[in-house]
Structure 1
Amino acid sequence: MRLVQLTVPTGKRETVLETLEDRGIDYVVTDEESKREYTAVVYFPLPSPAVEPVLDELQETGIDEDAYTVVVDAETVVSRRFASLREEYENGDVESDRISRQELQSEAESLTPTFSVYAIMTIISAVVATAGLLLDSPAVVVGSMVIAPLIGPALGLSVGSVIDDEELFQESLRYQILGIVLAVAAAAVFAWLVRVTNIVPPGLDISAVDEIAERLAPDLLSLAIALGAGVAGIISIATGTAVALVGVMIAAALIPPAAAAGIAIAWGQPSAAIGSTALVLVNVLSVNLAGLLTLWYVGYRPENLFSLGETEQRVRRRVFGLAAIVFVFALFLGGITYASYVTATFEENAREEVELALSEETFAQYQLLEFEVVMDDEYPFVSPERVIVTIGGPPEESPPELADTLRERVNQHTEDPVEVEVRYVNVIGG
């Protein structure tokens, strides 16, 4: 529910009151004594879905943006006429639950801080995320998402597009581009300082850190996270629900991958930064694409209906453009996903081959102690480089045919030959 406060320009008082009475809206009028160009202030409660059509109709009577129109939340309205008004406008679907176009625009603008605050908070969140990744600490990484100020620009671009506010669109676009650059740069600088000052162990293999490795070679599931964040973000802002929590989800799609890209750059592995950088870009584009589609679906349109056709064409071009770019990135992520699948299949088959070989009567005295597949560093499409098989057996010279058999069997499951290293451990029976 909303309470609308409207300043009535001189000469418009009767027209405004007639409009409200025709719609069955209760109102209170107070005379304006400021001796300006206003004659009165009108207060009237409205269901949330009624705010936009009522304000649009009042604007048609001559109430322009030079007059003050204030819309605030109303906790409770006790009135029979208001109950009938709610029945008229609230029908239980998503479109009736949404806030007005005017409120949406104000909400999108309020979620975007000043650039200095935005830059500082983005840098801090990127530094915290970098520390969390290097520590392999999910809790710290989540903390970095909470302070990231990304929801405003991420949603402002979509809002500006559908309501034909090009200023909001351009500002949000600049914020998003600069935010990505700042996040990656801040992460790279901080990670470099951590590395050269030996805060982390010298020779740290970043691919061995789970929180980093999963973002250096992302898969298609990451795309679902970004699309879900975009839809949830728009629905939350459009219905006035918990926007801050959805902001954490949007930050989850952007900040940790940007930090991973910065770490890879700081470690002198630019190829390792390709996957995480692609993940950042596809997530940004997916959030905007999902936002555009959701806003248009729930019924937001520009204020000036004469510009509806032009706005619709612009939104359609942006949707098709974003969808095409997201599709290209999706193919890239699909390639990474397929490479991961091939690797996982190879590891499973290779282990089975080793176990089958050791189950034969010839090698019955030996047992598999450890099996490891070492990947190469050709990110983001990593592949098996070496297989290490640790075998336990009696304290005597191991048969050379066992190593040859294992190499032959393991390499049956890969196109490119893989080095197989067999290690023997003496096992003394009790």
Structure 2
Amino acid sequence: MLHLRVISPEEKTDDVVRLIERTVGTAHLVMLRGAARNPAGDLVMCDVAREAGDELISALRTLGLDRTGSIAVENIDLSLSERGRKAERDAPGEGADAVLWEHLTDATHEESTLSVTYVAFLTLATMIAACGVVLDNAILIVGAMAVGPEFGPLAGLSTALVRRASRLALRSLNALLVGFAVAMLVTVGFTYFMDAVDLFSRVRLDAVRPNTAFIYQPDAFSFVVAVLAGVAGTLSLTSAKSGALVGVAISVTTVPAAANAAVAFTYNEYRQAWGSTEQLLLNLLGIVLAGTVTLLAQKWFWARQRERNSGAGRP
């Protein structure tokens, strides 16, 4: 379940309370007059089943509480209450399948921020992957995939397309373009340094690499895997069960492709550099396309669910 804490102007509190009482899947309603000081108003709290949360939050925003008051939402790890269990039973659908659109937008907005930490993680991941491609070491490639933070902006771009949020789209594109550009540029310098100390060499890059040759040899499976990973990653972000995201991170060839392109460019291996760039773009396109379609499908599914429930509730 979710716990909602609402600060409401006095003149809107009765509307807020009635709205919560009418919403199927709510319980434990508490109202404290004049308890809020900044902003001033009444404090209203309740618990709501996750599958009913998005509808309630949207209705509260319609009352303007995000502008004149406050709406805070948090997950409840444990709730021992028969009323709470009844609320979950009464709410339509399954909580694990529910999408909290406001939470998704906020989360992807944060993950899509072009920060020093984001660029640092992406750069470190690309340099680790560079070591992996030169040494033909699959373990280093997997480690670089897990470290890379690029799925955040990709999910942000998919969310922006579905919600028509131009600012989020620009923020996500900026994080992707600038992040990968900086990471690859630093990796070029890193390659020159490693070559100077005889740890990297063109001979290693040109040698037969059975474990990592796929990075610069994109094919149909590259796109298929990227699409499947995009679906799984999006579901992990929108669902209450989010443990699959790490698996998604180590299944797509974005960071390794960027690393191989940077190393190959350093040694004037333009065939590998172009192949790696194709692999990178193919994976980025597949993830964004799959994420967007998945979100659209979820949006349609919950719209149909609401229509059925509202129709069932009519006399």
Calculate the TM-score normalised by the size of structure 1.
Answer: 0.64
Aligned counterparts of 1:33 and 1:135: Cα–Cα separation in 2: 63
Change (3 A) 1:36 1:265: closer
SS at match of 1:271: helix
Give the match for residue 69 of structure 1.
71
Tell me the CA shift for residue 136 of structure 1: 1.6
Give the match for residue 110 of structure 1.
110
Tell me the CA shift for residue 124 of structure 1: 0.9
Give the match for residue 49 of structure 1.
51
Q: Which amino acid aligns with 1:61?
A: L
Give the match for residue 288 of structure 1.
288
CA contact (8 A) 1:184 1:259 kept: yes
TM-superposition CA deviations, 1:173-192 (whole Å, max 9, x none): 11112223233323333223
Report which of the two has the higher share of helix: 2
Give the match for residue 245 of structure 1.
246
Tell me the CA shift for residue 142 of structure 1: 1.4
Give the match for residue 148 of structure 2.
148
Change (3 A) 1:188 1:202: closer
Give the match for residue 127 of structure 1.
127
Tell me the CA shift for residue 37 of structure 1: 5.3
CA contact (8 A) 2:191 2:200 kept: no
SS at match of 1:40: strand
Tell me the CA shift for residue 205 of structure 1: 4.9
Counterparts of residues 322-341 of structure 1 (less than 5 Å): none
Q: Which amino acid aligns with 1:42?
A: V
Counterparts of residues 305-320 of structure 1 (less than 5 Å): none
Q: Which amino acid aligns with 1:71?
A: V
Change (3 A) 1:283 1:15: same
SS at match of 2:250: helix
CA contact (8 A) 2:142 2:250 kept: no
Taking only the aligned residue pairs, the percentage that are identical comes to 22
Higher relative contact order (CA 8 A, sep 6+): 2
CA contact (8 A) 1:3 1:46 kept: yes
Change (3 A) 1:112 1:197: same
Aligned counterparts of 2:64 and 2:188: Cα–Cα separation in 1: 55
CA contact (8 A) 2:114 2:175 kept: no
Change (3 A) 1:85 1:198: same
Change (3 A) 1:163 1:203: closer
TM-superposition CA deviations, 1:111-166 (whole Å, max 9, x none): 33542211121111111110122122111121112221112101001112212322
CA contact (8 A) 1:3 1:72 kept: yes
SS at match of 1:281: helix
> Is 1:186 the counterpart of 2:186 in the alignment?
yes
Of residues 84, 88, 108, the one that matches 2:86 is: 84
Tell me the CA shift for residue 96 of structure 1: 6.7
Aligned counterparts of 1:229 and 1:31: Cα–Cα separation in 2: 48
TM-superposition CA deviations, 1:29-51 (whole Å, max 9, x none): 12334555533111101111111
Aligned counterparts of 2:61 and 2:176: Cα–Cα separation in 1: 33
Calculate the TM-score normalised by the size of structure 2.
Answer: 0.86
Give the match for residue 304 of structure 1.
none
Tell me the CA shift for residue 207 of structure 1: 4.1
Change (3 A) 1:268 1:201: closer
Give the match for residue 310 of structure 2.
none
Tell me the CA shift for residue 289 of structure 1: 0.5
Counterparts of residues 188-337 of structure 1 (less than 5 Å): 188-200=188-200, 203-240=203-240, 241-242=242-243, 244-246=245-247, 248-249=249-250, 252-299=252-299
Structure 1 residue runs of 5 or longer lacking an equivalent are: 302-430
Tell me the CA shift for residue 234 of structure 1: 0.6
Aligned counterparts of 2:98 and 2:247: Cα–Cα separation in 1: 17
Tell me the CA shift for residue 223 of structure 1: 1.0
Change (3 A) 1:156 1:36: closer
Q: Which amino acid aligns with 2:75?
A: D
Tell me the CA shift for residue 262 of structure 1: 1.4
CA contact (8 A) 2:223 2:286 kept: yes
Compare CA radii of gyration and give the structure with the larger one: 1
RMSD between superposed Cα atoms in Å: 2.4
